[in-house]
Structure 1
Amino acid sequence: MVRIAILALGLCLTIFPAGCLIASEPEDTQDVEQAPEKQAINRTSERLLPDCKVLHGAPNTVINLREVFKGTSVDTGEPLELSVVHNTKSKIADTSFDGEQLILEWKKEGSTEITVRALNPVTQVMVDARFTGTVWQPDYLSLGLTVVGGLGIFLLGMKNMSEGLQAIAGSGLRRMISKVTDNRLMAVGVGTLVTMLVQSSSITTVMVVGFVNSGFMNLAQAIGVIMGANIGTTITGWILALKIGVYGLPMLGLGAFGYLFPRRESVRFAALAIMGLGMVFFGLELMKDGFAMVKDLPDFEAWFARFDAHSYLGVLKCAAVGCILTFIVQSSSATLGITISLATIGVIPFETAAALVLGENIGTTITAWLASFGATTNARRAAYFHVLFNLIGVAWITAIFPWYIEMIDGMFNLPFIRSLAGVEGKVGEAIDMTVRIAAVHTCFNLVNTIVFFPFAGLLGKLLERIVPQKAHKEKPHLTRLDIRMLDTPVMGIEQSRVEVLRMADGCKKMMLWLAELSQQNGEPDRRLTQKLFHREEVLDTIQDEIVGFLSDLLAANLPHDVIDEGRRQLRMADEFESISDYIASILKFQIKLNDQGHVMNDKMRQQLKHLHDTVAGYMQMVIDACIQRNSAVITKANTMRGEIKHLVRTLRKEHLQQMTDEKIEPYVNVAFTSALNSYVRVSDHTLNVAESLAGIK
């Protein structure tokens, strides 16, 4: 049996020589060509060829295999024997040779794995080069949906992060706004901090235009805040420069749980800010994935290649594209995110991205410019300053653009800057693209502010020439409470507060005019009378707008302090409107009495003057407390309210005694007692304002 087995084995070895046994290929690799019959003494497999990805319908790809295998173990200068030993799907890519060139004929969509073998016939050494060939068809719908979806999540994340930060900052943010003075340096600081919290220079500048329009802020203050807003908006780029993109989705999930389940408001809004930050990075990753397809599309690549920032005209073209894109989407943060996505995946070079960022600074000015329509002259000047600030800045930066880019690159070669950027290594090592773009944005606005700061006063005078004062006397007025403020409730509640304080100022002026009219003999001054009645109508309109604005604002998901402030303002607006009604009624009693041919005697007029001055002083005290947010005024307000009630009781007793001593016309008696009652009502509503300020329901 052993002999038979040995004989059988010898027969097999005779028929199938050793080394010539070839393993059978799988059924899906039937297109494999046979390897050379000569036995190689050494065979290696290397990734010498990059994966090849082409569009469907692309021409044949020709690969010079002599260059591919140059420097490998088979390269001795002798001609090589070349073959394709593995091609999983020849229906996708057919292979052929033209001398030492491999020709790939692309057919249908899909992917195939190809292995090219080179054999040195002298040394019998083999080297296999493996690569993947892919034929693809662009899915434009998927591209568009991915980019739009990513942009939507990015913008929603910015909104949520802004709301969370505003809720955390709360009253501190409102105090910052009220502390703006004529000191431009302080105004720049406030503008920077506020914009960093609300994550939008557009919101800050719209707010500034509204404050100037209402008379709460002058042009000098507005100029400082607007310069600071341009610096503050650059924080978005540095947030995106944080290397936490892969953690965007986990942050979103953890933030959502932290927002939905805890009961503590501070925890909920901190979680909302974290959730917003996660959405920002998740949206940015989605945009990158969507734009990744663009890099492989020749038409898109050729279109983007036309925006080359290596010439002055090219810089201007790129800046114009950035400006128009920001103008369309109304958000410089969104266009910055798009720019960073395109630059990070290599669709556009750094210089093009930098020029786009410069143009985005101009595009963001459109929001404040639109808000200035129908506003006062100073409000329009503030909006135009925002436009000029960015236009002039972009003009001189683009003029020195190559040197500006060199300055940015040179800055990142400084050791301490490189350590801050998280780059440890030799000078010249690549800096993260997002960090470089963020630096371009920040340096532009910082340098521009430094250049403009000493000349802000002169620029203000220039704006006075460009936007001259109207011929008639112009007073601050309410055109509308900007609905865009509803997206930033902390800012919106401050804008409505300004309008409530304007109502308070209107009531104070009506008291002054009433005092002047009450001391006039005969028919009161018609112009001043119409002025007082017109102011009462204006206060009615302001109250209606405040109620509508706050009703929409309070319908949103807001922190308790903003809700409480909104309710206080609603009550105050109602109280000041009622005060204006009673002031107007006192004047109506006087006019009616005069039309009937009667007048009060000197004693009555002096008594009413004393009461008027007392009530006016009481009102002034409460209004000052509202401006200063001094809730402790309630104690003194209650005391003075008691004094006024005591004074009115005294005046009534004196009036009754006077009626027994002398004859008083019934019309005069009615006018006097009605005036006393109206002053009492004015003091009652003033006390209600003090109670609202103190949080007493």
Structure 2
Amino acid sequence: MDVGLFFKIASQVIGGLGVFLLGMKHMSEGLQAVSGDRLRKMISAVTNNRVMAVIVGVLVTCLVQSSSVTTVMVVGFVNSGIMTLMQATGVIFGANIGTTITGWILVLKIGKYGLPILGIAAFFFLFSKRERLRYIGMTIMGVGMVFFGLELMKNGFKPLRSQEEFNAWFHAFHISLDGGLLLAYGNIIKCALVGMILTMIVQSSSATLGITIGLAATGVIEFQTAAALVMGENIGTTITAWLASLGTTTTAKRAAYAHVLFNVLGTCWFIALFPVAIRGVTRLIAWKTGFNPLEIGIDDMDEARFGQVITAGIALTHTTFNVANVVIFLPFAGLLAKFVTRLVPEKETKEVTHLTYLDVRMLDTPALGIVQSQGQINFMAESVEGMMGQLRECMETEAEQITLESKLFRREEILDNVQTEIFLYLSNLVSGQVPHDVTTKSHQQMRIADEYESLSDYIINVLKGIKKLHQNKMVLDGPARDKLLTLHDRVATYITRVNEYVKDETSGNLAWATSEGAAIGELMKESRREHLARLQKEEVSPLFSLAYTDMLNFYRRMKDHALNIAEVVAGDK
């Protein structure tokens, strides 16, 4: 092949692939922005019901336009404790079906109209003042870029048909369904391996699907060769989730292995039945279009029509394979989860003072990345509740609780670092072009994380007050302890109720939070008056009085920070 021709082909194919990938990115980001809260609600709707988890996986992947993004997201959610392994398995199953939407988009008769669609949509994206309209423009612009990129790749591949050396090389992958089965299966496996390796390199099954369709639609490779490549691409796409699981929790690794096993086992059975399965798919295409992809060549008909039939055949093969896989393996999802649990045993872990659950890969999908940070906000809420319980235990007895106290100090140190890492994560999340609702939610989460960190500080301040009494050979006497425990329980209940608003992501009941906060304030004033009366009667020492009134002030600050959280959740701050 002449160098000039090679350069021309390489330029068009590489340029087309770049435009195709950029189009997929814009389409994904636009759809995520337009869907907004609906996408987050889908994730929160995931339950241990397998069918529901599959449906969520399908819908989310259709919206983000990438099974790799969905599976990386799932690994991140499992890592941060938002999803269980069983839930993740169902979503991964659904992601495999959802990714087939790319093939069906490419079946649409748009082709050469991709460029004008791109241009018109770009005007809306660049000049519209309405955010929603701008993101709709971005989505349509992405669609236009996908088709324009595919058209460039097709035009780049066309000259390969007349190059004998390429034809001879591709012939080594020729799959004859009517010849010897041994040779046919050997070539099927070779094609699957090529598809797998190519997908592992580019880390995008949509990109390799686009290349496969480009080669098949221009007649460079046969339909059955393209179908075998698609099988391999289904294995290759698992590399993204596997890489995402490195350095994560054991459960997150199990989710990644479940994805690998599901796709590998599914590809194995489909390859075993390849001759029968492909004939069945092509008969469906022939029934719908009047042409059997196995029996036609590009010289037998109009080039555009040929491309459409072949593209539809590849899309149907991809869909049939993934739907059949889910139907077959869904009843055994529990067994798969048990198998990967044994395959990846639990390791002894030590509680660390830094956060390891915010996966930076989630920054590529802001609408879903905000769900991950919400999981860590919930972790802070639960930690503060736990600290309140441990603090009460320290107050109940006169003796020092050394082990319990060290746990409280350790937990406060963790929450300090958690708050810092949430702030850095959310700052990076909103640093690019993100929807307004994601920005608003991020700012709310930053504020709530700061309030929880302050709550943990005041819990420790109360503990230090108790320790100060112990150091001075003093203890909380009966009346003081009873009053402080009553106040503690009231504030702890208040914090628990506010935490429910945070976890449910509802606007909460600000009127209740305000009135209950005022009632707690009155209880504190009453406690202070009673204590001052005891001081006047010289029932307590001035040093004890100072420590006790400080503790009352710390509880007042706890109430204030909890009220601040309720106001942020309600959108009042």
TM-score by length of 1: 0.77
Query: Paired residue for 2:230?
Result: 357
Q: CA deviation at 1:617?
A: 0.9
Aligned CA distance change for structure 1 residues 183 and 477 (closer, same or farther; 3 Å): farther
1:330 paired to 2:203: yes
In the TM superposition, 1:124-143 aligns within 5 A as 138-143=4-9
Query: Paired residue for 1:318?
Result: 191
Correspondent of 2:528 among 642, 652, 677 = 652
Query: Following the alignment from structure 1 to structure 2, what is the Cα–Cα distance between the partners of residues 426 and 471?
Result: 57
Aligned CA distance change for structure 1 residues 292 and 684 (closer, same or farther; 3 Å): same
Correspondent of 1:263 among 123, 129, 150 = 129
Query: Paired residue for 1:219?
Result: 85
User: For this pair of structures, how many residues does the alignment match?
Assistant: 555
Correspondent of 2:267 among 394, 399, 407 = 394
Query: Paired residue for 2:70?
Result: 204
Correspondent of 1:504 among 381, 404, 411 = 381
Query: Paired residue for 2:519?
Result: 643
Mean alpha-carbon deviation: is it higher for 563-572 or for 290-299? 290-299
Query: Following the alignment from structure 1 to structure 2, what is the Cα–Cα distance between the partners of residues 296 and 691?
Result: 70
Correspondent of 1:411 among 284, 290, 307 = 284
Query: Paired residue for 1:491?
Result: 368
3-state DSSP class of the match of 1:373?
coil
Query: Paired residue for 2:470?
Result: 594
1:305 paired to 2:305: no
Query: Following the alignment from structure 1 to structure 2, what is the Cα–Cα distance between the partners of residues 443 and 347?
Result: 24
Deviations 1:80-115 (Å, cap 9, x if unpaired)? xxxxxxxxxxxxxxxxxxxxxxxxxxxxxxxxxxxx
Query: Following the alignment from structure 2 to structure 1, what is the Cα–Cα distance between the partners of residues 517 and 13?
Result: 63
Query: Following the alignment from structure 2 to structure 1, what is the Cα–Cα distance between the partners of residues 292 and 451?
Result: 69
Query: Following the alignment from structure 2 to structure 1, what is the Cα–Cα distance between the partners of residues 404 and 6?
Result: 69
Query: Paired residue for 2:453?
Result: 577
Correspondent of 1:447 among 303, 324, 333 = 324
Query: Following the alignment from structure 2 to structure 1, what is the Cα–Cα distance between the partners of residues 518 and 112?
Result: 66
Q: CA deviation at 1:253?
A: 0.5
Q: CA deviation at 1:273?
A: 0.6
Q: CA deviation at 1:459?
A: 1.4
1:169 paired to 2:41: no
3-state DSSP class of the match of 1:370?
helix
Query: Following the alignment from structure 1 to structure 2, what is the Cα–Cα distance between the partners of residues 624 and 633?
Result: 11
Query: Following the alignment from structure 1 to structure 2, what is the Cα–Cα distance between the partners of residues 221 and 376?
Result: 16
Contact 1:304 1:348 (8 Å CA) reproduced:
yes
| Amino acid across the alignment from 2:549 | T
Q: CA deviation at 1:596?
A: 2.5
In structure 2, runs of 5+ residues without a counterpart are 177-183, 297-305
1:344 paired to 2:217: yes
Query: Paired residue for 2:181?
Result: none
3-state DSSP class of the match of 2:47?
coil
Aligned CA distance change for structure 1 residues 474 and 372 (closer, same or farther; 3 Å): farther
3-state DSSP class of the match of 1:481?
coil
| Amino acid across the alignment from 1:621 | R
Q: CA deviation at 1:477?
A: 8.8
Contact 2:216 2:226 (8 Å CA) reproduced:
yes
Q: CA deviation at 1:298?
A: 2.7
In the TM superposition, 1:529-678 aligns within 5 A as 529-678=405-554
Query: Following the alignment from structure 1 to structure 2, what is the Cα–Cα distance between the partners of residues 670 and 223?
Result: 57
Q: Considering only CA atoms, is the larger Rg found in Structure 1 or Structure 2?
A: 1
| Amino acid across the alignment from 1:538 | I
Query: Paired residue for 1:104?
Result: none
Deviations 1:425-472 (Å, cap 9, x if unpaired)? 899887711111111111111100011111111111112211122356
Contact 1:510 1:532 (8 Å CA) reproduced:
yes
Q: CA deviation at 1:211?
A: 1.6
Query: Following the alignment from structure 1 to structure 2, what is the Cα–Cα distance between the partners of residues 658 and 532?
Result: 31
Aligned CA distance change for structure 1 residues 536 and 490 (closer, same or farther; 3 Å): same
Query: Following the alignment from structure 1 to structure 2, what is the Cα–Cα distance between the partners of residues 634 and 165?
Result: 33
| Amino acid across the alignment from 1:450 | V
Contact 2:22 2:145 (8 Å CA) reproduced:
yes
Please identify which structure carries the higher strand content: 1
Q: CA deviation at 1:610?
A: 1.0
Mean alpha-carbon deviation: is it higher for 599-608 or for 515-524? 515-524
Query: Following the alignment from structure 2 to structure 1, what is the Cα–Cα distance between the partners of residues 84 and 455?
Result: 28
Aligned CA distance change for structure 1 residues 145 and 247 (closer, same or farther; 3 Å): same
Q: CA deviation at 1:661?
A: 2.0
Please identify which structure carries the higher helix content: 2
Aligned CA distance change for structure 1 residues 309 and 692 (closer, same or farther; 3 Å): farther
Contact 2:118 2:141 (8 Å CA) reproduced:
yes
Query: Following the alignment from structure 1 to structure 2, what is the Cα–Cα distance between the partners of residues 460 and 555?
Result: 37
Q: CA deviation at 1:474?
A: 8.4
Contact 1:214 1:477 (8 Å CA) reproduced:
no
Deviations 1:522-567 (Å, cap 9, x if unpaired)? 111x222222222212212222221111111111112211111111
Q: CA deviation at 1:605?
A: 1.1
Correspondent of 2:337 among 460, 479, 485 = 460
Deviations 1:275-327 (Å, cap 9, x if unpaired)? 11001111111111222233333333322222233411211111111111111
3-state DSSP class of the match of 1:442?
helix
Query: Paired residue for 1:432?
Result: 309
Query: Following the alignment from structure 1 to structure 2, what is the Cα–Cα distance between the partners of residues 532 and 444?
Result: 53
Query: Paired residue for 2:258?
Result: 385
Aligned CA distance change for structure 1 residues 672 and 476 (closer, same or farther; 3 Å): closer
3-state DSSP class of the match of 1:139?
helix
Query: Following the alignment from structure 2 to structure 1, what is the Cα–Cα distance between the partners of residues 246 and 509?
Result: 39
Contact 2:80 2:376 (8 Å CA) reproduced:
yes
Query: Paired residue for 1:180?
Result: 46
Contact 1:291 1:341 (8 Å CA) reproduced:
yes
Deviations 1:471-528 (Å, cap 9, x if unpaired)? 568899941422222221101111111111111111111111111222132111x222
1:470 paired to 2:336: no
In the TM superposition, 1:72-87 aligns within 5 A as none
Correspondent of 1:249 among 115, 132, 137 = 115
Q: CA deviation at 1:671?
A: 2.1
Query: Following the alignment from structure 2 to structure 1, what is the Cα–Cα distance between the partners of residues 382 and 122?
Result: 44
Contact 1:213 1:478 (8 Å CA) reproduced:
no
| Amino acid across the alignment from 2:100 | T
3-state DSSP class of the match of 1:326?
helix
1:276 paired to 2:142: yes
Mean alpha-carbon deviation: is it higher for 373-382 or for 185-194? 373-382
| Amino acid across the alignment from 2:331 | P
Q: CA deviation at 1:390?
A: 0.3
Deviations 1:374-399 (Å, cap 9, x if unpaired)? 22222211111011100110111111
Q: CA deviation at 1:336?
A: 0.8
Deviations 1:580-609 (Å, cap 9, x if unpaired)? 111122112212321222111111111111
Query: Following the alignment from structure 1 to structure 2, what is the Cα–Cα distance between the partners of residues 358 and 640?
Result: 61
Query: Following the alignment from structure 2 to structure 1, what is the Cα–Cα distance between the partners of residues 470 and 355?
Result: 34
| Amino acid across the alignment from 1:399 | A
Contact 1:327 1:364 (8 Å CA) reproduced:
yes
Mean alpha-carbon deviation: is it higher for 193-202 or for 580-589? 580-589
Contact 1:598 1:667 (8 Å CA) reproduced:
no
| Amino acid across the alignment from 2:530 | E
Contact 2:352 2:414 (8 Å CA) reproduced:
no
Query: Following the alignment from structure 2 to structure 1, what is the Cα–Cα distance between the partners of residues 223 and 399?
Result: 79
3-state DSSP class of the match of 2:219?
coil
| Amino acid across the alignment from 2:214 | S
3-state DSSP class of the match of 1:550?
helix
Contact 2:80 2:358 (8 Å CA) reproduced:
no
Contact 1:480 1:545 (8 Å CA) reproduced:
no
3-state DSSP class of the match of 2:400?
coil
Query: Paired residue for 1:519?
Result: 396
Query: Paired residue for 2:179?
Result: none
